[in-house]
Amino acid sequence: MTTPLPLCVIGGGVIGLRHAEVSAVSPRIELTAIVEPDETRQKDLRDMGLPVVTSVGDVPDRTRAAIVATPTPAHLASTRAALERGWPVIAEKPLAETLDAARALIAAAEAADLPLFTGHHRRCHPFSLSARDALGQIGAPVGVQGLWSLRKHDTYYDVPWRTQPGAGPLLTNLSHEIDLLGFLFGRVTEATALISSARRGFEIEDSAAISLRFDNGALGSFLMSDAGASPWAFEAASGENPAIAASGEDYLRFVGTEGALAFPSLTFWGRSAPGEIEWSKPLRRREGQSFDRVDPLLEQIERFARVVAGGADDVLCTGQDGLDALEMTLAVALSARQGAPVARGAVPGDYSGV
């Protein structure tokens, strides 16, 4: 039997608690502590029967790894503290607040010769893994169309910071999409964005229309909104978040020279007869396979445990992958502000998107 990995979670908020919950049910993990400095939150966590400490220095010595789930501005300090104790780390997405901070974390992990991953867990769904193989059937990549539109309830915005810069769908939700597209389709190299706050009237955007260029020559478009009601979004398609109603509707469509693929159903349209594929010939439709439902955070933490034990993994989002997703997320925010395309390498290192 595999010896469980002694692991702590740094940050006892909603996301930190989710990581603690999957740690508690995984035979590969021993949860040694949740680091949470707020006394009121400490009491709540203790009432749940969870082991709580105030600082990283208080974590039991037997601990061998960490998940960082503090607020994004604290990722740099929290992740550095974990690396200094010799722990491999998963830092929740986004990896850091700025590119400079993300690069500093990658450098620190490399100097310590420790694994550093970013918590883009969508990669760990079975349909995400199968999509990589299925996309090999559509030929040379041409483009992708995406739609993420979930209407957040009005009382969501009773919390003041949710109406302020940095809290809109670009900086809250887009990095997941950028990373998943990079995992499945290709690295994004340029972005152009238009934003609107017409529906909610806040200082932040409620909708964004985004154009993307990929390093493989493909193009993409993405509409995002937290004001528009629709069944089209990753969370609705996958049903992974119990707080969001499931629809089962695809929200991404990939197009190539030999066919097309809908995601996450993996419905495929391709060749129906010999010879050239062209518009006078109907495409043959093939339904995607069904997949067992999993908790992607549980899958992610168990993959992490295998890596810490000496295994290899080509699914987890590395620190560099996380930096790539952060850079192009910030590029979209910068494009919306400047009214012009922003290419990889053009985002200032200290820019936070605000």
Structural domain boundaries of the chain? 5-119, 125-292+327-338
Q: What is the tens place of the pLDDT at every residue in 182-231?
A: 999 999 999 999 999 999 999 899 999 999 999 999 999 999 999 999 99
Residue 354 pLDDT class (50, 70, 90 cuts):
confident
- Order the strands of the 342-343 sheet from edge to edge: 284-286, 268-270, 259-263, 252-256, 141-149, 219-225, 207-214, 188-196, 342-343
Q: What is the tens place of the pLDDT at every residue in 98-155?
A: 999 999 999 999 999 999 999 999 999 999 999 999 999 999 999 999 999 999 999 9
CATH annotation of 125-292+327-338: 3.30.360.10
pLDDT at 273 over 60: yes
Q: What is the tens place of the pLDDT at every residue in 314-352?
A: 999 999 999 999 999 999 999 999 999 999 999 999 999
Cα gap 309→306, rounded to integer Å:
5
Residue 245 pLDDT class (50, 70, 90 cuts):
very high
Per-residue model confidence (pLDDT) at position 347: 98
Give CA 63 to chain center in angstroms: 26
Residue 165 pLDDT class (50, 70, 90 cuts):
confident
Q: What CATH topology corresponds to 5-119?
A: Rossmann fold (3.40.50)
Percent of all residues in the chain with a pLDDT value above 70, rounded to a whole number: 100
Residue 1 pLDDT class (50, 70, 90 cuts):
low
Mean pLDDT of 251-257: 98
Per-residue model confidence (pLDDT) at position 2: 78
Listed in sequence order, the residues at least 6 apart from 263 whose beta carbon sits closer than 8 Å to its beta carbon are 127, 131, 184, 237, 250, 251, 252, 253, 254
The overall average pLDDT reported for the chain is 96
Higher pLDDT, 310 or 243: 310
Backbone angles phi, psi at 269, to 5 degrees: -115, 125
Listed in sequence order, the residues at least 6 apart from 310 whose beta carbon sits closer than 8 Å to its beta carbon are none
